[in-house]
């Protein structure tokens, strides 16, 4: 399967955050999330495993009550149902990988 960035719709989540679902199939999904400076990913949890790779920008991420600053090249792992969220310190882009797929993201398209 080939997925072209230009062909994938951009979802405006409000508050300076946009999301673009990239490749997905089987039990995996890749999602690009863009943040403006000061935008937040509110604390939340879900039953999916999640890897986040910081492509650009700086973020203060909280995972299970621990907050750390991360930047380009850093990776974060969130186990299922672990509470996590972030604040964008410098505008940036994250690449999230989920397993299983986020059916809620696909239904929103």
Give the pLDDT score at 5.
Answer: 95
Question: What is the residue whose two structure tokens read 């230009």?
Answer: 6
For residues 74 and 91, what is the distance between their CA atoms, to the nearest angstrom? 15
Predicted confidence (pLDDT) per residue in 22-35, tens digit: 999 999 999 999 99
**Angle of CA points 76, 73, 82, to nearest 5°:** 5
Predicted confidence (pLDDT) per residue in 40-74, tens digit: 999 999 999 999 999 999 999 999 999 999 999 99
At 6, the pLDDT band (50, 70, 90 cuts) reads very high
- First-to-last C-alpha distance (Å) of the chain: 19
* Among 47, 46, 44, 81, CA closest to 61: 44
* Tokens linked to 38: 């000061």
């Amino acid at each position: 399967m080939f997925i072209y960035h230009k062909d994938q719709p951009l979802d405006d989540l409000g508050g300076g955050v946009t999301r673009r679902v990239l490749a997905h199939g089987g039990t995996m999904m890749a999602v690009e999330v863009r943040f403006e400076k000061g935008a937040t990913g509110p604390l939340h949890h879900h039953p999916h495993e999640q890897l986040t790779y910081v492509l650009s920008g700086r973020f203060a991420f909280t995972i299970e009550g621990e907050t750390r600053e991360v930047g380009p090249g850093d990776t974060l792992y969130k186990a299922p149902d672990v509470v996590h969220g972030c604040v964008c310190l410098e505008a940036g882009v994250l690449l999230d990988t989920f397993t299983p797929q986020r059916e809620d993201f696909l239904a929103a398209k």
